[in-house]
Every structure is written in structure tokens, then in C-alpha cells.
């Protein structure tokens, strides 16, 4: 049977001889709980987003490596060997696949990319929080609707918690190639 009472079992707060804020910080949290105020604390960027505020001093300029093939051009990358790429034995089939891919609509539209750049700039200035999530490496075995939905859901939930707790917008980015 529960009894109603107006008296508290917790000891009443006795003022300390020193009433500074530093001394008050050492009071047990149950005693201080009534005086707490909710306020938004700004999140500051680790590195200055404006280079003029924290200039980097370089003692000596680094030597510039010269290109082996001579002059650079927009198409010069095609002359270089991509060592990480597989060798395709059938050049005609490769060209056919590349033409097919070129005819697909873009995965991301230019306006979306510009909007993301603006939001990332806000995050760099400390006006937003960047949440980046996803797997380091994806396997085709895990490429299904349930995994995509679960990853998307957890990022949205994490973003909501961060936005509520940080009192600032959250830029959500994933490394999944299919999201």
C-alpha cells in the first residue's frame, strides 16, 4: 500500500558558505536538478572553416612533380594506366556496356549536388552537424530491400536524435552506392 506524503526523503539543500557557480557544480545532481535550465550549446568545428583565421605557415614550398606524359589536358587521364581496374578482354563488349550506361539518367541531379554542397558548407562552419553512415564495403549478397530500408531508417533515427539534442540541422550522408 502506497502512502502519500508531502515530505521528501531526500535531504534538503543547505547553502554552501561559498556560493560560486564552481562550488555549486559539485553538489549532487539530485540536489541541483531543480535549478537546471535547458539551453542549446553550439557545436564548434574542430578545424577553422575560414583559412584566414588559422593560416598555415609553410616554410618552404614543396617540389612540384612533373607529369611523365608531358602536358596535361582534359583527356590526358585516358592515356594513364589504371592499375586498380580489371583487364577487359573484349573491347567491343566493354564499349557497348559503356554506351548503355551513358544513356541512363543521372543518379544524382546537379541541383541535388549543389544543395548538398551548401549543407556541407554549413556543417564546416559549425551551423549544422554532419552524420555519415553506411558500410565500409558492400556485398551483393546484402543488396536487398530490407537492408536498404534498415540502413536508411537507422540514419534517419540517428539524425532525429542528433537534431533534437544538438538543436541544429543534421546533414545525413551515406556511403552506400545504392541509396
Buried-state track 22-57, b at ≥16 Cβ within 10 A, e below 16: eeeeeeeeeeeeeeeeeeeeeeeeeeeeeeeeeeee
* pLDDT for res 118: 95
Residue carrying the nine cell digits 554506351: 99
Residue 136 in marked binding region: yes
Is the confidence at residue 129, as pLDDT, over 70? Answer: yes
C-alpha cell at 41: 550549446
- Segments making up each domain of the chain, as ranges: 110-174
What mean pLDDT value characterizes the chain?
Answer: 73
Is the confidence at residue 44, as pLDDT, over 90? Answer: no
Give the number of other Cβ atoms within 10 Å of residue 71's Cβ: 6
**Residues paired with 129 in a beta bridge:** 170
Element (H, E) at 96: helix 91-102
Is the confidence at residue 119, as pLDDT, over 70? Answer: yes
Give the number of other Cβ atoms within 10 Å of residue 129's Cβ: 19
Residue carrying the nine cell digits 502519500: 4
8 CB-side CA count, 13 A: 6
Q: CA distances (Å), 83 to each of 70, 78, 136, 168, in order? A: 20, 13, 22, 43
SS3 130: strand
pLDDT digit string, tens, across residues 141-169:
777 888 888 888 999 999 999 999 999 99
C-alpha cell at 141: 549478397
Is the confidence at residue 175, as pLDDT, over 80? Answer: no
Report how far residue 59's alpha carbon sits from residue 37's, in angstroms, rounded to the nearest whole number: 49
Amino acid at each position: 500500500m502506497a502512502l502519500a506524503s508531502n515530505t521528501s526523503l531526500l535531504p534538503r539543500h543547505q547553502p554552501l558558505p561559498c556560493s560560486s557557480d564552481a562550488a555549486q557544480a559539485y553538489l549532487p545532481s539530485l540536489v541541483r536538478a531543480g535549478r537546471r535550465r535547458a539551453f542549446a550549446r553550439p557545436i564548434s568545428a574542430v578545424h577553422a572553416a575560414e583559412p584566414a583565421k588559422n593560416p598555415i605557415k609553410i616554410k618552404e614550398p614543396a617540389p612540384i612533380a612533373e607529369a611523365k606524359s608531358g602536358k596535361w589536358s582534359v583527356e590526358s587521364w585516358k592515356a594513364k594506366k589504371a592499375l586498380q581496374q580489371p583487364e577487359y578482354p573484349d573491347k567491343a563488349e566493354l564499349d557497348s556496356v559503356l554506351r548503355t550506361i551513358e544513356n541512363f539518367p543521372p543518379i544524382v541531379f546537379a541541383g541535388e549536388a549543389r544543395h548538398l554542397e551548401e549543407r556541407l558548407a554549413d556543417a564546416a562552419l559549425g551551423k549544422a552537424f554532419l552524420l555519415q553512415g553506411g558500410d565500409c564495403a558492400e556485398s551483393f549478397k546484402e543488396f536487398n530491400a530490407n537492408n536498404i530500408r534498415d540502413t536508411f531508417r537507422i540514419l534517419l533515427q540517428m539524425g532525429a536524435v542528433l537534431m533534437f539534442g544538438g538543436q541544429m540541422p543534421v546533414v545525413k550522408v551515406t556511403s552506400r552506392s545504392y541509396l
